[in-house]
Structure 1
Amino acid sequence: MPAVAAGMGCTDRIPGGWVVEALPIRLHLATTDPEVVAETLRRAYATAQVRAPRHDPAFGYRQDVHGDTDLALGRFLFRGRGRVDLVLEEKFTVSWPRSGTLHWQIDGHRGTGLALIQPHQDYRSTLELLRVDTADLSLEALTRTARTVYGDERLTLGFNAPQPVSARMADYWQATCTYVRQTLTDPATAGIALLRAELLRRLAVATLEAFPLAGDPHARRESVAARQAAYTAAVEFLHAAASLPITLEDVARHAQVSTLELVRAFRSHAGITPGAYLRGVRLAAAHQDLVAADPTAGDTVGTIAARWGFPHPGDFARRHRAAYGVPPSHTLHR
Structure 2
Amino acid sequence: MADVIRVDSRDAADVEQIWRQYVPSARLERIDPQRFAFHWLSVRLSGMTMVRYTLTARVHAAVQPEDQLFACRVATTDGWVRSGRSDLDVPLPWATDSTQVEAHWAVTADVSAFIFDRAHAQELARTITGDELLTLRLTGVSPRTATAGRHWNRSFEYLLNAVGHVDDDQLLEASLMRHALVTTLSTFHSTFLDAAAKDPHTAGASTMRRAVTYIDEHAHLAITVDDVARAVHMSSRGLQYAFRRGLDTTPAAYLRRVRLDGAHRDLQNSKPDVTVGEIARRWGFGNTSRFGDLYRQTYGRSPRETLERD
**Shorter chain as normaliser: what TM range?**
0.7 to 0.9
Q: Indicate if the aligned counterparts of 1:91 and 1:138 stay in contact, CA closer than 8 A.
A: yes
Q: Match for residue 49 of structure 1?
A: 26
Shift of 1:331: 1.3
Shift of 1:99: 5.0
Could you tell me which residue of structure 2 aligns to residue 96 of structure 1? 73
Q: Which residue identity lines up with residue 3 of structure 2 in the other structure?
A: I
For 2:257, the equivalent position in structure 1 comes to 280
Instruction: Give the corresponding residue for 1:195.
Output: 172
Pair 1:163 & 2:138 matched: no
The one of 9, 18, 24 equivalent to 2:2 is: 24
- CA separation of 1:228/1:109 partners in 2, compared to 1, >3 Å: closer, same or farther? farther
Aligned pair partner of 1:84 in 43, 58, 61: 61
**Contact 2:93–2:153, Cα closer than 8 Å, also in 1:** no
Q: Distance in 1 between matches of 2:211 and 2:85?
A: 44
Change (3 A) 1:257 1:101: farther
Counterpart CA distance in 1 for 2:99 and 2:299 is 54
Which residue does the alignment assign to 1:135?
114
Give the conservation status (yes or no) of the 8 Å contact 2:31–2:58. Answer: no
| Partners of 2:95 and 2:142 within 8 A in 1 | no
Aligned partner of 1:13 in structure 2 is: none
2 CA distance for matches of 1:108 and 1:148? 36
Match of 1:113 among 84, 91, 114: 91
Aligned-partner SS, 1:161: strand
Counterparts of 2:39 and 2:260, CA distance in 1: 41
SS in structure 1 opposite 2:141? coil
Deviation larger for 191-200 or 313-322: 313-322
Counterpart-to-counterpart distance in 1, 2:222 and 2:12: 39
Contact 2:61-2:104 at 8 Å conserved across structures:
yes
Gaps of 5+ in 2: none
**Separation in 1, partners of 2:292, 2:100:** 49
- Aligned position for 2:230: 253
Distance 1:222 1:26 in 2: 39
Q: Partners of 1:40 and 1:31 in 2: how far apart?
A: 12
Shift in CA distance, 44/179, structure 1 to aligned 2, threshold 3 Å: closer
2:97–2:138 contact (8 Å) kept in structure 1:
no
Matched residue, 1:265? 242
Q: Which amino acid aligns with 2:92?
A: L
Q: What does the per-residue CA deviation read over 1:64-122, in whole Å, with 9 as the maximum and x for residues that have no partner?
A: 11231422221101113211223334222221234544422335543123334333443
- TM-score computed with the length of structure 1 as normaliser: 0.82
More helix by share: 2
What amino acid maps onto 1:24 in structure 2? Answer: A
Question: Would the aligned equivalents of 1:61 and 1:77 in 2 still touch at CA under 8 Å?
Answer: yes
Q: Which residue of 2 aligns with 1:301?
A: 276
User: Which residue in 1 is equivalent to 2:36?
Assistant: 59
Change (3 A) 1:89 1:285: farther
Amino acid at match of 1:139: R
Q: CA deviation at 1:265?
A: 0.8
Q: Distance in 1 between matches of 2:99 and 2:243?
A: 40
CA-based RMSD of the aligned residues comes to: 2.4
1:325 to 279, 300, 303: 300
Structure 1: state its 5+ residue gaps: 1-22
CA distance in 2, matches of 1:61, 1:269: 54
TM-score (structure 2 length as normaliser): 0.88
The amino acid across from 2:215 in the alignment is L
Q: SS in structure 2 opposite 1:103?
A: strand
Post-superposition CA distance 1:148-188 (Å, at most 9, x none): 222211111111112111122123222322222211113xx
- Over the matched positions of the two proteins, sequence identity in percent amounts to 26
